[in-house]
Chain A
Amino acid sequence: MTMTNEPSRTRILLHFLRQGVSGALHAAMRGSLVVLLVLMCIVLGVMEPAFVSLANAVDVWRTASVAAIMYVGVTWVIASGEIDVCFMDVAALAGMVFAVVANAHFSPLFAATLAIVVGLGIGLCNGVMVGLLGFPSLIVTIASGTFAHSVATILGHGQPLYLDSSGVVGSFANGAVAGMPLIGIVAVLFYALSWFVQERLVIGHHVYVLAQNSMALRQVGVRTQWIRFGLFVVSGVMSAAAGVVLAGTLNSGNPMIGGSFFLDGLTAVFLGATVIRLGQPNIIGTGLGVIILAVLVNGLALVGAPNFAREIVKGVLLLLGVIVAVKGGALRWTGFQRLRAGEPAPAGDDQAKLRRFTA
């Protein structure tokens, strides 16, 4: 048996028209970032021919790669309906730890591993507090971010810490293969892997459902608290890895790098949420966002645009990304409100509710 009634012909026509228009709009929105990117490149290339050189492109790619790696975790955390505002501080801390340990004559590889373990540790703390204990992710990551930032500052006594020698890590960070930055290739590969996890594994699917209706997931037996836990751990590790690589590129650990990466990260994530998965942060979108931002910064610097122009464009991009993401898509949360109910009390069981408020 079929479900539909028989609609009139005008209804059918209108229906297809509407589908067509909204489909076109959706396609436009989905491809908009790419179009934007192309437009930007054209405009910038016209304004400053040096922009279109291979050397410049490689430079952009290299810068974008570090950021791209840093933002992987954040992308998924926000996609799942939480927020992470500590990622840039974890990166700063990892960079400082790397510098300190490497300068203490340990092998750079060991130093890098230790730095990543530190990031893992912070990710674990976040994961436990948010995923398992249920604290709000904003406050937890504000706290852990500030803590990481201040420890990073302490390690360098308020100053960046120059690396005596960055060794293997440095070569990795600055190296190139056939003219392409090594780190750039790694980032691309990593993104491909992440895309696979996001799209082809059940857990990637569940991360998105988590933002939409975590109650439904819990009722079918999915362990949502462990998924949240894992996401924060991933974010910590990725941020730390990016921080180490950044230290390798700059040949120093810098506790102050946080500022720009914070806004850039959120902008990339939300810009990315306007493509592919409309309204939902996703890996390829973030990648595109990162590239756009890198192109923007690079290009504007080349044409000699004043600082405020760069900042304003970034801010506007973020706002646009948020609006499109919320209105045009599936983002469900308003202020990350979460109902983490336990056994539902029957109507009239005020005693259970009462227990929530008495000391």
Chain B
Amino acid sequence: MKSLSPRLVPLTIFVAIYAIIFVVFASMSSAFIRPTNIVEILRGMSANGIAALGLTFVIITRQSDMGFPWVASLGAMTMGHFIASGYDVPVAIFMGVLVGLAWGAVNGIAIGLFKLPDMITTIATGSIAFALGYLYSNGDSIYDNFMTSGILRLNDARFLGVRLPIVLLAAFFLVGWFILDRTRFGRAFYATGENRRSARLSGIPVQIYVIVAFCLCSAFASFGAILSSASAGMADVRTGINFLMPAYVSVFLGNAMFGRPSAGATLLGALFTETMIDGFTVLNVPFYYGDAIESVVLVLALLSSKPELRDAFRGLFIPARSMVGGGRL
């Protein structure tokens, strides 16, 4: 299929760079290459990866969401609250994700319908969400019933021998990829992002897609925070607030490599950053070096892109044509 060859080249480059990094880490520490560590890489990227997937939808529609980390925190706290109150695990998870979904809808309506600026609005709503998370327990962590309710199995259980978080990661990305690549909705997302005017003239209800994108972002981020909480054994207001940087790096790294944001690109971007972080951990380099590396990677990705790609980056924040009207007569 001819459409594959343009994508094959960046993929090969990615595989090459990834292999190099992998080899470097492996040579510096034998612990890196152990199967348990590989699994740990995959498990570690599950929460961040799912959040990044949600962000991908927003980026595809050429918007930005800066508040999803805080909404994620609220989602996790909500889940914790329900667990502590004795509800079943599925109910608690559902409520946590529902909160995220609702918050995303608020964002989407404010931004898509009322035309408020996306970055600042999501920061504002996010900060309120974060504050609301304090309501449950005045800011303390919630861990009642965590051991007994079975929520921890979200992190520990295995499905067909594979750790559940990894399965969930794969499932989410599979669904995300499927929506974006194999359904008409995916095409509508891309059309809305790239040329909103043209999408509208093609009969696509662009406002709805903007709202849905924000809903997915906040809901996915909430789920990611819930996963994190299951791993930590408690719900804490600080869960999820570190999602911002890794998510953006994953999406943008993927975009830089493959020319446009997509589920697959984000997954590979997330894999890349998580591998680096894990590598540093195995080498006993403190965690905060990871952030520095990530930011440098992001900047390098930006800088090394050719001017045309740089336009693509800029284009992520500037829809190709977003003005209504403007004929040439």
Residues in A lying within 8 Å of B, measured CB to CB: 83, 85, 129, 133-136, 138-140, 142-147, 149-151, 153-154, 157-158, 255, 259, 263, 266-267, 270, 306-308, 310-316, 318-319, 321-323, 326, 331, 333-340, 347, 355-359
Residue of A nearest to B138 (CB): A306
Extra inter-chain contacts (13) besides given A150-B290, A312-B134, CB under 8 Å: A134-B314, A136-B317, A140-B299, A142-B244, A142-B295, A146-B295, A150-B289, A154-B288, A270-B124, A322-B124, A326-B115, A335-B118, A338-B318
Do A143 and B138 touch across chains, with their CB atoms under 8 A apart?
no
Interface presence of B328 (CB below 8 A): yes
| Bound complex: CA A340 to CA B120 (Å) | 22
Do A308 and B132 touch across chains, with their CB atoms under 8 A apart?
yes
Residue of A nearest to B288 (CB): A153
Residues of chain A within 8 A (CB-CB) of B245 are 142, 146
| Bound complex: CA A143 to CA B294 (Å) | 8
Residues of chain A within 8 A (CB-CB) of B295 are 142-147, 150
- A-side binding surface: helix, strand, loop or mixed? helix
| Bound complex: CA A322 to CA B294 (Å) | 31
Interface presence of B125 (CB below 8 A): yes
Do B313 and A135 touch across chains, with their CB atoms under 8 A apart?
yes
Q: How many pairs of A and B residues are in contact by the CB < 8 Å rule?
A: 167
Residues of chain B within 8 A (CB-CB) of A333 are 117
Which of B123, B133, B248, B328 contacts A142 (CB under 8 A)? B248
Known interface pairs A263-B127, A266-B123. Does A154 touch B314 (Cβ–Cβ under 8 Å)?
no
Which of A153, A311, A340, A358 contacts B127 (CB under 8 A)? A311
| Bound complex: CA A158 to CA B306 (Å) | 37
Do A158 and B286 touch across chains, with their CB atoms under 8 A apart?
yes
Interface presence of B319 (CB below 8 A): yes
Residue of B nearest to A339 (CB): B318
Residue of A nearest to B291 (CB): A150
Residues of chain A within 8 A (CB-CB) of B131 are 308, 310-315
| Bound complex: CA A71 to CA B78 (Å) | 33
Interface presence of B84 (CB below 8 A): no
Interface presence of B222 (CB below 8 A): no
Residues of chain B within 8 A (CB-CB) of A139 are 248, 252, 298, 302, 313
B241, B296, B298 — which one has the most chain A CB atoms within 10 A of its CB? B298
Residues of chain B within 8 A (CB-CB) of A151 are 292
Residues of chain A within 8 A (CB-CB) of B64 are 138, 335
- B-side binding surface: helix, strand, loop or mixed? helix
B63, B123, B308, B316 — which one has the most chain A CB atoms within 10 A of its CB? B123
**Interface size counted on chain B using CB atoms at 8 A:** 56
Residues in B lying within 8 Å of A, measured CB to CB: 62-64, 66, 111, 115-121, 123-125, 127-135, 138-139, 241, 244-245, 248, 252, 286-292, 294-296, 298-299, 302, 306, 308, 310-311, 313-314, 316-319, 322, 328
Residues of chain A within 8 A (CB-CB) of B128 are 312, 315-316, 318-319
Do A319 and B134 touch across chains, with their CB atoms under 8 A apart?
no
Residue of B nearest to A266 (CB): B123
Do A315 and B127 touch across chains, with their CB atoms under 8 A apart?
yes
| Bound complex: CA A258 to CA B129 (Å) | 19
| Bound complex: CA A255 to CA B291 (Å) | 13
A159: min CB distance to chain B, Å = 11
Interchain Cβ contacts under 8 Å between A and B, 19 examples? A83-B119, A133-B310, A134-B314, A138-B64, A139-B298, A142-B298, A149-B288, A154-B289, A263-B127, A270-B124, A312-B132, A318-B123, A333-B117, A337-B319, A338-B318, A339-B318, A347-B328, A355-B308, A357-B308
